[in-house]
């Protein structure tokens, strides 16, 4: 019975990590767009990327791609889901977060 209980706990923990990775990706994308809309037009992409990476814990390696056009700022965050322990190997699939906002006019 003990191996079944341990296997169940390991699976539950892995599902927690998957859910947390989705939460991190979405939050990082939101923060990246928020920083980009408040930045000066020439600094939007740099501010977007920096804010998105700043919101990620060190154990989750991620990529933040930002774009502007048509009056919108968008951010896409891509993260790997860790296997059992954050900072260890990751599953061969990515979790993506996306956010967008209207560019603010600055005077």
Assess if residue 107 is contained within a domain: no
Assess if residue 98 is contained within a domain: yes
pLDDT digits (tens, 9 = 90+) for 54-82: 878 887 778 888 988 888 889 999 988 88
Q: Which domain holds residue 71?
A: 2-102
pTM for this one? Answer: 0.81
DSSP output for the chain: -HHHHHHHHHHHHHHHHHHHHHHHHHHHHHHHHHHHHHS-GGGHHHHHHHHHHHTS-TTS-EEEEEEEETTEEEEEEEEEEESSSTTS-EEEEEEEEEEEEEPPP--
Percent of the chain at pLDDT > 90 equals 29
For the chain, the domain total comes to: 1
Assess if residue 8 is contained within a domain: yes
Assess if residue 45 is contained within a domain: yes
């Amino acid at each position: 019975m003990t191996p079944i209980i341990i296997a169940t706990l390991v699976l539950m923990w892995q599902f927690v990590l998957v859910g947390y990775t989705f939460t991190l990706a979405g939050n990082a994308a939101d923060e990246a767009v928020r920083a980009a809309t408040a930045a000066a037009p020439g600094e939007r992409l740099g501010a977007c990327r920096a804010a998105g990476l700043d919101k990620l814990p060190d154990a989750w390696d991620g990529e933040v791609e930002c774009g502007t056009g048509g009056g919108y700022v968008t951010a896409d965050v891509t993260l790997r889901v860790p296997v059992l322990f954050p900072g260890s190997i990751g599953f061969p699939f990515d979790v993506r977060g996306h956010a967008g906002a209207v560019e603010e006019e600055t005077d």
